[in-house]
Each structure stands twice: as structure tokens, then as C-alpha cells.
Homo-oligomer: A and B are copies of this chain.
Amino acid sequence: MAIIDGLNKVFESKIRLGIMSVLVANGSSDFATLKSLLELTDGNLASHTRSLEEAGYLTCEKKFVGRKPNTTYIVTEEGRKAFAAHIDAMERFLKECRS
């Protein structure tokens, strides 16, 4: 169906949309920042970042800051492209809805 073609199933979740919009705007973000911006539990955020990592849209770097583990998420080139394509598809969808 033309109106929903190009919408990416990986981005059906608004949490994943939120994560990607932060990463695309900033290049990277750490776990605590994403968790606070999106008001999520640890488990919920981890599950969505895992899905995005499995899709190849982000990579993560685990480090220790003192004794505390800290994970940084970095958007991949593929992730940027996929997000841009999804945004374009959302725009086409809205245009059709408004016409």
C-alpha cells in the first residue's frame, strides 16, 4: 500500500524513534542520558538499543567510569541512512493523509 511503503518496521516503536533522533542529532549518547531523556527503565532502554544494534543502526562501547560501567551508543552510517529514509516515508505518509 503506497501510503505506508517505506515506513521501517524497526522504527515502529516511538522509543526507538526517540533514541535514533538523539543519536542522529548528536552522533552518540550514553546510557544515562538516553534513559533520562526518554524516561525509561534500564531494561526497556537496553532492549530497544539491542534491537537497533541488531539492525546495524548503532554500535555500543562499554567502558568503566571509575567503578561504574558506562555504555555509549554511536549511530552507524547505515542507521543514519535508514532513519533519513524513514523520515522521508513519514513525510510522504503525512502528505497523503493531508491531501
> Per-residue CB proximity of A48-89 to B under 8 Å, as 1/0?
000000000000000000000000000000000000000100
A94 interfacial by beta-carbon distance below 8 Å: yes
Q: Which residues of chain B are near A39, meaning CB under 8 Å?
A: 1
Interchain nearest-CB distance for A61 vs B (Å): 23
Contact-size category for A: 20 to 34
* Docked pose: A92 CA to B85 CA in angstroms: 17
Q: Which residues of chain B are near A21, meaning CB under 8 Å?
A: 3-4, 93, 96-97
List the interface of chain A (C-beta within 8 A of B).
Answer: 1, 3-4, 7, 9, 12-15, 17-18, 21, 24, 37-39, 87, 90-91, 93-94, 96-98
